Chain A
């Protein structure tokens, strides 16, 4: 909600049920419920992997959803950047920056969980194989996003250059996603393809629940960040009005 709209909106107007269900508060509740259910399913319902990874395979139910959430966050940043360049008033303020920040956070978590799993599965903390290398590359490219933004003083130019960079950086996302499919000489397994998921029903259900939980968490934090950015913008407007007086 823009500051102008906030000033003109009548106080105490009831919120419709669909809007309430996707508000930040409810999204946090959704995320907690789904992730809680995912944890219970992962440790109490799904069988121990029979392929040799054993109990360590269960990190897959968190590692893969975190990775997908990171890529989705970068995709949100890409869409927000494109919208901002085509129609500057269209995306909510702060959405692009928040999406990149969250994408970096989830990418960091992917690296950590991946290294833990890699140590258990492959015996090494790090291997220079396609999926790991391309994900690290995406993380570095998006980390530079904040270097670019932080170096430009003019606000308008900072927003434009940041959006252009977010579009350029998105090139690394499909490269990362398709690395294991088109560069098969790697250690990273391909579990889910377009035609099948190489896991039994309880495993697939747990994976889906954890993925939805991570997506809900991403959406909740994005909603909070957008609200914070709108509040900061309103505060700046009030400060400018006071200074004019």
Chain B
């Protein structure tokens, strides 16, 4: 029964997102544009200034040390993912607000936790679609010869995305009735996501920059998994209270 209810809610949310593709397109475009900006900014910091009069100049060689050393690409990747995620998370209840059907959702005879699950899975799907495009672009812009190492980051990306989606959905629900929610959401969400970003960045840098096997980053993967479990349990315990009329 709960499974069918969840599937119905999930189908509704995914159908709304796929009809206009507004959210996922915005996330993808933002991620790619941000990578372009970072790549040019990084090369400008490491090589001095773009060369050539009257031209944009090209990015520096991939082997150039960035301002932050070897972990700069990994950190930039996850910062871009967090900000792209916020674009999507700010739209979590957009359909309910704009079409004035939040009351209809609250009147549905379903456990409120299933609403959280459907929203979180939808946000997770949007993140994954964005990353399917953004990660190869990242490999092309920043890694060239070692881009294939990104495949080994799949567990890191999946665990971090579950954390981003679950915490993001929870916080998006908390600010649902807030004034200036587009301002409040990032201020509240980003500090809570810092542990995820630190662990994901550290693991990604180890795999991509140093070619470390997954066994070397098991501690960080364990931390990400524990973080996901803690916040999923917190969401399960408190979502009923947040979705009260």
Mark A residues whose CB is within 8 Å of B: 85, 133, 137, 140-141, 143-144, 147-148, 151-154, 157, 160-161, 164-165, 167-169, 171, 175
A-B interface pairs (CB < 8 A), number: 57
Residues of B within 8 A of A169 (CB): 192
Q: Which of B103-111, B129-137, B176-184 is found at the contact surface with chain A?
A: B176-184
B241 within 8 Å of A (CB atoms): yes
CB distance B175 to A151 under 8 Å?
yes
Q: Which residue of A lies closest to B230 (CB)?
A: A171
CB distance A164 to B178 under 8 Å?
no
Given contacts A137-B194, A140-B191, contact A168 B170 (CB under 8 A): yes
Instruction: List which B177-223 residues lie within 8 A (CB) of chain A.
Output: 177-181, 184, 187-188, 191-192, 194-195, 198
Min C-beta distance of B120 to chain A, whole Å: 15
CB distance A151 to B192 under 8 Å?
no
Min C-beta distance of B140 to chain A, whole Å: 30
CB distance A175 to B191 under 8 Å?
no
Residues of A within 8 A of B170 (CB): 168
Instruction: List which B69-104 residues lie within 8 A (CB) of chain A.
Output: none
Q: Which of B175, B192, B241 is the one whose CB lies under 8 Å from A168?
A: B192
A143 to B188, CA, bound (A): 9
Q: List 12 A-B contacts (CB under 8 A).
A: A144-B187, A147-B187, A148-B175, A148-B178, A151-B175, A152-B179, A153-B179, A157-B177, A164-B241, A167-B234, A168-B231, A175-B195
Q: Which residue of A lies closest to B244 (CB)?
A: A160
B153 within 8 Å of A (CB atoms): no
A85 to B180, CA, bound (A): 26
Given contacts A168-B234, A171-B230, contact A137 B241 (CB under 8 A): no
A151 to B174, CA, bound (A): 11
Q: Encode contact with A along B221-245: 1 for CB under 8 Å, 0 otherwise.
A: 0000000001100100010011010
Min C-beta distance of A139 to chain B, whole Å: 9
CB distance A148 to B184 under 8 Å?
yes
Q: Which residue of B lies closest to A175 (CB)?
A: B195
Q: Which of B177, B180, B191, B244 is the one whose CB lies under 8 Å from A144?
A: B191
CB distance A167 to B238 under 8 Å?
yes
Residues of A within 8 A of B191 (CB): 137, 140-141, 143-144
CB distance B230 to A161 under 8 Å?
no
Residues of A within 8 A of B198 (CB): 133
Residues of B within 8 A of A143 (CB): 191
